[in-house]
């Protein structure tokens, strides 16, 4: 017999359990029923369970009465969240239990609602529907506002990144402008106003002429890759390459006149007094420097450009600077295998257009060209040779020290040229040395010559590397 006096049926779907810990005496699977317990540990008292069972039955009666009301078709009204309603624990919010009401099995108290509604759904009142609609509208407005703020922040971030690589970011800041372009802002502004008149197309893909010149100088100064500039500026790589080559051609055509051979009067007025004492007719200091390039594919080109000194494929240039430290002569590119003597003889430097009788030229001991310069009446001064000598005399040692002390200025000029413009550090791509388009157009000047000559002209636009206490503004 069970607790209610009914005979126990083994075939019954309800499994009889101990009535000491359960109210109905049946195992109930309804999660809302008071007898639903996931464990069988004694943790519920009978009096407490009886009150909860009454509350549960009263709540079910109210739900049954509500479902018999007229409902909208298919319960399509806006409902509360679909979580199962919890029975309140406050006694004053529930109706008093009906006298004589006896608990029934879960089947008797579960009535399916009509239509497609589930037992946990109920229609909302008019005020609740208005409140839900207002809440949904507020959430949508907040969502739209958040999306707008996100898009504005994203656009500001992109514009800020682009502005950091533009002339506007360095306007009026000499230190930052010199770090990014190698020129102070005043010099950059003057250079732009001078070159803007030669630019036929004022804008390229939204870039002003000022920004285009800034990006070209940035490429020469810091040598960022085209892929990086394309990613930061959100422009395709062909556009970046086109802007660089276009402004490189403009710079080469319009500012390389700064590399010129000065007059004798200008040299005498600007020569430092220290050099004037030892070399009163000094006009130039010469040397050669090399720039690394990528390995050419052709074996002949690789053999001509391989330098045994650098252990790399290079291009070589002859450079000459005045006693004041400005670059006065720069040859075209030669293969790294060519010797300094060969480049000096064939580049056109030994010419009466540059030298007069009685001039003095300082060079390293590798320039064995005294006979070639003596034809023009020019004196080539080099340090004393040490080959075949165990020890130099005191006179030769002192003269070599004085000559090397003055000749070192051309090394400083080369160092400034390479350090200020990182693109000359190399290795430069093969397309800068020779491309098919240059051969088709039969151009004598290749891209690498334009780069080196433009960088040398930009170096001449800044201060000198030779200190002269009588002249202000030296670097």
Helix H, strand E, coil C: the string for 85-127 is CCCCCCHHHCCCCCCCCCCCCHHHHCCCCCCCCCCCCCCCCHH
The DSSP letter of residue 39 is S
The pLDDT value recorded for residue 107 is: 44
| Residue 178 burial (CB count, 10 A) | 18
What gap in Å lies between CA 181 and CA 187, rounded to an integer? 10
Please choose, from the candidates 260, 466, 277, 279, the residue with its C-alpha nearest in 3D space to the C-alpha of residue 380. 279
At a CB cut-off of 8 Å and minimum separation 6, what does 90 contact? none
The answer to whether 123 touches 75, Cβ cutoff 8 Å, is: yes
Tell me the sheet residues that pair with 16: 26
The pLDDT value recorded for residue 105 is: 46
At a CB cut-off of 8 Å and minimum separation 6, what does 76 contact? none
DSSP three-state, residue 79: coil
| Residue 444 burial (CB count, 10 A) | 7
DSSP three-state, residue 244: helix
| Residue 217 burial (CB count, 10 A) | 25
CA distance to 76, 95, 412, 451, 461, per residue, from 464 (Å): 86, 100, 10, 21, 9
Q: How many CA atoms does the CB half-sphere of 356 hold within 13 Å?
A: 8
What gap in Å lies between CA 183 and CA 175, rounded to an integer? 9
What gap in Å lies between CA 194 and CA 236, rounded to an integer? 28
Which pairing describes strands 334-335 and 327-330: parallel, antiparallel, or unpaired? unpaired
Residue 225, burial from CB neighbour count under 10 angstroms (0-12, 13-18, 19+):
exposed
At a CB cut-off of 8 Å and minimum separation 6, what does 442 contact? none
The pLDDT value recorded for residue 157 is: 67
Which pairing describes strands 360-362 and 379-381: parallel, antiparallel, or unpaired? parallel
The pLDDT value recorded for residue 19 is: 52
Tell me the sheet residues that pair with 204: 207
Q: Please name the residue that has the structure tokens 């002192």.
A: 398
* One pLDDT digit (tens) per residue for the chain, 475 residues: 555 555 555 555 545 455 555 566 666 667 777 777 665 555 444 455 567 778 888 888 877 765 544 444 444 444 444 444 444 444 444 344 444 444 444 444 444 444 444 445 678 788 888 888 888 999 999 999 899 888 888 777 666 656 677 888 888 888 988 988 989 999 999 999 999 888 876 666 678 888 889 999 999 999 998 898 888 888 889 889 888 989 999 999 999 999 999 988 888 888 888 888 889 899 999 999 999 999 888 888 888 889 988 889 999 999 999 998 899 999 999 999 999 999 999 998 999 989 999 999 999 988 989 999 999 999 999 888 777 677 778 888 888 888 888 899 999 999 999 999 999 987 888 888 876 666 666 667 888 999 999 999 999 988 777 765 555 444 4
| Residue 450 burial (CB count, 10 A) | 18
- Spans of all domains in the chain: 1-122, 165-256, 259-460
What HEC string does 336-404 produce? CCCCHHHHHHHCCCCCCCCCCCCCEEECCCCCCCHHHHHCCCCEEECCCCCCCCCCCCHHHHHHHHHHH
User: What is the tally of helices (H) and strands (E) in the chain?
Assistant: 17, 7
User: CATH for 259-460, among 3.90.550, 3.30.420, 1.20.1440, 2.40.50?
Assistant: 3.30.420
At a CB cut-off of 8 Å and minimum separation 6, what does 393 contact? none
> What are the tokens at 348?
């056109």
Distance between first and last Cα of the chain = 112
At a CB cut-off of 8 Å and minimum separation 6, what does 354 contact? 261, 284, 329
Q: Which helix (H) or strand (E) covers residue 287, if one does?
A: strand 282-292
| Residue 408 burial (CB count, 10 A) | 13
């Amino acid at each position: 017999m069970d607790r209610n006096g009914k005979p126990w049926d083994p075939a019954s779907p309800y499994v009889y359990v101990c009535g000491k810990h359960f109210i109905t005496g049946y195992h109930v699977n309804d999660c809302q029923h008071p007898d639903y317990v996931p464990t069988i540990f004694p943790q519920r008292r009978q009096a407490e369970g009886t009150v909860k069972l009454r509350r549960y039955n009263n709540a079910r009666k109210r739900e049954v009465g509500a479902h018999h009301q007229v409902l909208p078709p298919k319960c399509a009204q806006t409902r509360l969240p679909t979580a199962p309603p919890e029975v309140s624990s406050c006694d004053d919010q529930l109706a008093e239990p009906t006298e004589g009401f006896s608990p029934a099995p879960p089947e008797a108290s579960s009535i399916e609602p009509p239509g497609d509604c589930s037992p946990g759904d109920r229609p909302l009142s008019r005020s609740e529907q208005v409140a839900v609609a207002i809440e949904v509208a507020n959430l949508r407005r907040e969502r739209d506002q958040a999306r707008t703020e996100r898009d504005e922040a994203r656009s500001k971030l992109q514009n800020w990144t682009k502005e950091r690589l533009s002339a506007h970011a360095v306007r009026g800041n000499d230190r930052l402008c010199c770090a990014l372009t190698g020129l102070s802002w005043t010099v950059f502004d003057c250079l732009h106003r001078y070159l803007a008149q030669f630019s036929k197309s004022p804008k390229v893909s939204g870039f002003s002429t000022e920004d285009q010149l800034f990006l070209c100088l940035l490429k020469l100064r810091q040598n960022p890759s085209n892929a990086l500039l394309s990613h930061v500026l959100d422009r395709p790589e062909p556009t970046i390459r086109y802007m660089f080559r276009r402004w490189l051609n403009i710079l080469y055509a319009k500012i390389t006149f700064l590399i010129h051979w000065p007059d004798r009067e200008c040299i005498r007025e600007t020569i430092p007094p220290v050099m004037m004492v030892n070399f009163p007719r000094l006009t130039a200091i010469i040397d050669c420097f090399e720039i690394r390039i990528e390995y050419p594919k052709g074996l002949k080109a690789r053999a001509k450009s391989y330098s045994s000194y650098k252990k790399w494929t290079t291009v070589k240039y002859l450079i000459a600077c005045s006693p004041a430290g400005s670059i006065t002569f720069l040859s075209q590119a030669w293969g790294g295998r060519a010797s300094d003597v060969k480049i000096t003889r064939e580049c056109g430097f030994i010419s009466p257009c540059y030298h007069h009788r009685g001039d003095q030229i300082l060079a390293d001991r590798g320039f064995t060209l005294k006979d070639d310069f003596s034809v023009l009446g020019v004196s080539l001064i080099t340090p004393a040779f040490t080959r075949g000598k165990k020890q130099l005399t005191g006179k030769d040692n002192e003269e070599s020290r004085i000559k090397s002390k003055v000749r070192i200025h051309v090394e400083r000029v080369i160092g400034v040229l390479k350090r200020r413009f990182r693109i000359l550090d190399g290795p430069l791509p093969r397309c800068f040395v020779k491309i098919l388009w240059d051969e088709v157009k039969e151009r004598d000047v290749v891209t690498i010559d334009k780069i080196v000559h433009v960088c040398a002209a930009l170096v001449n636009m800044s201060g000198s590397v030779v200190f002269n206490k009588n002249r202000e503004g030296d670097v």
